[in-house]
Amino acid sequence: MILSLIAAIGKNNELGKKNDLLWNLPVDMKHFRETTRGHTVIMGQKTFESLAQDENGKQIGRLLPNRRNIILTQDKNFEKEGAEIVYSIPETMELLSKTTKKDEEVFVIGGGMIYKLFIDIADKLYITHVNASFSDAEIFFPIIEKTKWEKTKSTLFQKDDQNKYDLEFCEYIKKVS
């Protein structure tokens, strides 16, 4: 199994605020969809809840279509039909070891708590660097240490009418120690 983290982060590793994103970037949503489609995704309960709201603005969560959805939580009462619920990293890794093929890629899709739990055991990072700072951010991606991660791919995107910020789509591979 190849364990990958995928995230969009600001100049100071900003990820989100008020359990939501800090930007609306359709080009990054497309990149996320195309990269993760057909794969297993792992997310924290809070990120799951952030994916949809009801008519009153209450976060109600949504499963990502065309993907196997695994949700990490500490809440033993949490249920979601169509998702697999796990309560710890060892339990997640055991489930994956039993149910994924050797060369299969699995994506950790956030949020902040979950990235922190997985970054040290991940093999690969897909990071969209958003070329802006967000002083109101509350949730941050962990530091990507240059001694541990090698940038292997970089594609620049210039801001346009629909996407307010310049972006760099990057891939990082864990260095062999």
Ligand X SMILES: NC(=O)c1ccc[n+]([C@@H]2O[C@H](COP(=O)([O-])OP(=O)(O)OC[C@H]3O[C@@H](n4cnc5c(N)ncnc54)[C@H](OP(=O)(O)O)[C@@H]3O)[C@@H](O)[C@H]2O)c1
Q: Which residues contact ligand X by CB under 6 A?
A: 7-8, 15-16, 19-21, 44-47, 50, 72-75, 87-89, 109-114, 117, 139
d(CA 32, CA 132): 19
Q: C-beta of 102: minimal distance to ligand X in Å? A: 25
C-alpha distances in Å from residue 80, one per residue of 17, 48, 77, 119, 156 = 24, 10, 10, 26, 38
> Which of 114/125 has CB closer to ligand X?
114
Nearer to ligand X, 101 or 130 (CB): 130
Instruction: Find out whether the peptide bond into 111 is cis, omega within 30 degrees of 0.
Output: yes
Using the minimum distance from each CB to ligand X, give the nearer residue, 21 or 83: 21
- Smallest gap from Cβ 91 to ligand X, in A, equals 8
Q: Which is nearer to ligand X, 1 or 117 (CB)?
A: 117
In the complex, the smallest distance separating the C-beta of residue 103 from ligand X, rounded to whole angstroms, is 25
Q: Which residue has the tokens 């979601």?
A: 80
37 — alpha (psi -120 to 50), left (phi > 0) or beta? beta
